[in-house]
Structure 1
Amino acid sequence: MIRNIQKTILLGFVTFLIISCNGNKSFKKNNPEKIVEHFATDFLDDDRIHSVSIAIYNKGKEATYHFGEQNPNKKNPPTDTTLYELASVTKTFTGTMAAKAVLDGKISLDDDIRTYLPEAYPNFEYDGEIITIKDLLTHTGGFPNFPPTDESKKAFWTGLHEVEISSKPGTEFHYSNTAPEITAYILEKTYGVPYQKLIHQYILEPNKMTNTKFVLNTNDQNLLIQGYNGEKEPQAHYQNNLWGGISGIHSNTKDLIKYIKYHLNDSIPEVRESHKNFFKTQYDFDIGYHWNIVEIENEVCYRHHGGIWGMQNWFMIFPESNIGIAVLSNASFEGTVLSKGIDDKLEELALNIIKRIK
């Protein structure tokens, strides 16, 4: 009797495993839409999050998805025309433009950055060791996260005289929102073209990213999604008074697929150059031309996170698999001991989808 009961339980368990495995296999491999819907719905279970937009390029197939509502209780989901602030993902545009400048002979990675600056900065060294272009791109120049002043370009340069470099350049990674603005200025000076126009001329226009902009017109403003904090309070949009090397680009899901395709095309010289690996950080990633470079399931991933008041997004490409993804949300809140912040939740969302559609 006991043996028969045990046999029944065992057969039931095996049957459950077979059904589960078969269902999971179908879920993983055969229905990308179902995969995205499943994990997006799970992501939106957090009532601090209102919506999420997802752009995927998968071996020649393009898809965009939108869930939730732009404004709480308004039943107005985002669409392909909805604009998001990309925040620090803007740095990948700066890095790509810097890669082109290197190939064009406008700058050299080993140049002393003071060669290009509008004033003398004897403080931009450490024990006689100079700060190079490469140090700017890898956040290893010793610059503070935020500049002493950013109210205007003039104030920016004045404030930089206060900066003290406390470590040998090129040896320690310290994330900086100061260095990329210096890079943007150097690019502007060497080409003789305003930085934002350079991005338009060499990246946006060739890739027909017509809805990706620094400056928004009246119609664009109406398409810009409102951001919220964890208490569902509307947040002000970011205003960059400098060049825009750190943040300031707005885009939508359709244009982000174009940006994914651009960076998956390794035959483009500046793309190939921009994916070079320069420095191993003390964290779980390496860094090159502002790309954070990680290995995920034995494959190299180039990625960057962008976060600003009321907005969060991740951008990731996997060249070996010819896959890329962008996930964006109009909510922003930090994690606690008991719960993840939205940046972690978005990263998890992107990776859960990628791992099941590859």
Structure 2
Amino acid sequence: MYKNGETYHNFYGKINENQGKPNDSTHFEIASISKVFAGSLVAKAVIERKIRLDDDIRSFLKGEYPNLEFEGIPITIKNLLTHTLGFKERRPPKLDKIWNDVSEGKYEVKPIEYSIDEFLDELKTVELDKKPGTFYTYNSVGSELIAYILEQVYKDSFENILESFLKSLEMNDTYLEGCREESRFLITGYNDKGNQAPKTRKILLGAGGAMISTLPDLIKFMKFQLESEDPLIKESTKELYSDREGDKTDYLWDVDLAEEEGFYYKKTGTSDGVQSVLLICPDTNYGLILIVNNTSEKAFYDWANLYDRIESDLIKFPQINLVSTLKKDFIKETDKAIANYKSEVLNSSKYFSKARDLNIIGYQLLNENRVDDAIKVFELMVSEFPENPYVYDSLGKGYFENKNYKKALVNYEKSFASDATNTNAKDYILRIRKLLE
């Protein structure tokens, strides 16, 4: 975590049954977070006027590629950076098979028999079915093409270009898979079946997801984003594309503007055994890195909730999340926790509270069949956040589980009256009215 110039980091759990906690020397797969490093290199090239965002990518490819356009619109550098290539299929067929075989562990001990030249030949067979720049389809092909184009621009290998950039940031323990012996320190990852997951492999040039790093090195990159005046940061975080849902993309980052965070950008990465996220909030001067070496559904749920909780707390820091502080008491002694909450919540200089956190505790109590205690927490939530329509939805659920259908109906109706898009409340209202007939 980064907040106002200070960094904090820690490790929890254990690597596997035989090893303890990870540490500063542990190497992690960072998967698609690799892409933003390639994006930074393109931003640098744009600033140096070696590349323009509107350049037709065919001007950097050897040979003829008449297929890499749709209705006269060619694929540009900008399209590679925003996942808007217009491909009919996500990847060419042979590359797709290699990608899937790597995920199944078929290349754990043997080299990948697929070269960049084979990829470029296969690229001549790709079909476009939409105009480039009009539809977002996440892929790693664009990143690999970016790496190849950078090689043509700088007349050097992508590995060397990347390493030079990493050295400028003193990220000495970050590298492409297969390029260093240090990969023996790579953490064990586990898949959704609880088995050891196949390791990351560099299929082409590695820009799409083959980088390995340590937590201290990623912290250096986070601090660079938040503290440096390097013009490539401003360039690499320009909004380049916005889809119909309003999701925005720049140089392979996901960007947006939030009410409390202000402007922020982030990137997630998921390999077969590791989940990671890097969040940068320059307007509010904080950042977050979170890595878990497990990709099971339960681990993903924990990872996502932990990310949401930490990010929420960082916005308010140095204020402390009161609900988190009292969580154990809420579960063990609900009445005592509610009393303590009411006495401390008025101290706004020290504590803050959110309806979402109380809601999570209430539903945990419901799941443990402690319906009366859950109702007490939901009632507290309603008294604290009466303008939030969803607190009435939760209280309605509590009363419903307690078979107090009249009170459940009243609360669901309040929720639906405040938010007519709440289909859950609407469904329960119809259900309860039938029960009360």
TM-score after normalising by structure 1: 0.78
Residue 134 of structure 1 aligns with which residue?
Answer: 78
On the 8 A contact 1:148/1:160 being kept in 2, the answer is no
Residue 111 of structure 2 aligns with which residue?
Answer: none
Residue 312 of structure 1 aligns with which residue?
Answer: 275
The answer to whether structure 1 residue 234 and structure 2 residue 196 are counterparts is yes
Residue 289 of structure 2 aligns to which amino acid in structure 1?
A
The within-5 A match list for 1:119-198 is 119-143=63-87, 144-150=89-95, 151-198=114-161
Report the structure number with the largest CA radius of gyration: 2
Q: Distance in 2 between matches of 1:153 and 1:293?
A: 31
Q: Distance in 2 between matches of 1:330 and 1:268?
A: 33
State the shift of 1:216 in Å.
5.4
Matched residue count: 295
Q: Distance in 2 between matches of 1:216 and 1:258?
A: 23
State the shift of 1:154 in Å.
1.9
Identical amino acids, percent of aligned pairs: 33
Residue 295 of structure 1 aligns with which residue?
Answer: 257
On the 8 A contact 2:222/2:287 being kept in 1, the answer is yes
Q: Distance in 2 between matches of 1:248 and 1:309?
A: 12
Higher strand fraction (1 or 2): 1
Residue 129 of structure 1 aligns to which amino acid in structure 2?
I
User: Which stretch shifts more, 104-113 or 218-227?
Assistant: 218-227
Q: Distance in 1 between matches of 2:308 and 2:246?
A: 16
Give the 3 Å change call, closer, same or farther, for CA 159–257 of structure 1 in structure 2. Answer: same
Q: Distance in 1 between matches of 2:7 and 2:178?
A: 26
The answer to whether structure 1 residue 247 and structure 2 residue 206 are counterparts is no
User: Which stretch shifts more, 346-355 or 220-229?
Assistant: 346-355
On the 8 A contact 2:86/2:134 being kept in 1, the answer is no
On the 8 A contact 1:68/1:77 being kept in 2, the answer is yes
State the shift of 1:149 in Å.
2.9
Correspondent of 1:116 among 60, 69, 81: 60
Q: Distance in 2 between matches of 1:64 and 1:146?
A: 37
Residue 248 of structure 1 aligns to which amino acid in structure 2?
A
RMSD in angstroms over aligned alpha carbons? 1.8
The answer to whether structure 1 residue 261 and structure 2 residue 223 are counterparts is yes
The within-5 A match list for 1:1-150 is 56-71=1-16, 73-74=17-18, 76-143=20-87, 144-150=89-95
State the shift of 1:347 in Å.
3.3
Q: Distance in 1 between matches of 2:179 and 2:163?
A: 16
User: Which stretch shifts more, 138-147 or 178-187?
Assistant: 138-147
State the shift of 1:199 in Å.
1.4
Q: Distance in 1 between matches of 2:266 and 2:92?
A: 24
Unaligned stretches of 5+ in structure 1? 1-55
SS at match of 1:276: coil
Give the 3 Å change call, closer, same or farther, for CA 164–218 of structure 1 in structure 2. Answer: closer
On the 8 A contact 1:266/1:272 being kept in 2, the answer is no
CA-to-partner distance for each residue in 1:164-195, whole Å, 9 max, x for gaps? 11101111111111111111100111011111
Unaligned stretches of 5+ in structure 2? 96-113, 316-437
Higher helix fraction (1 or 2): 2
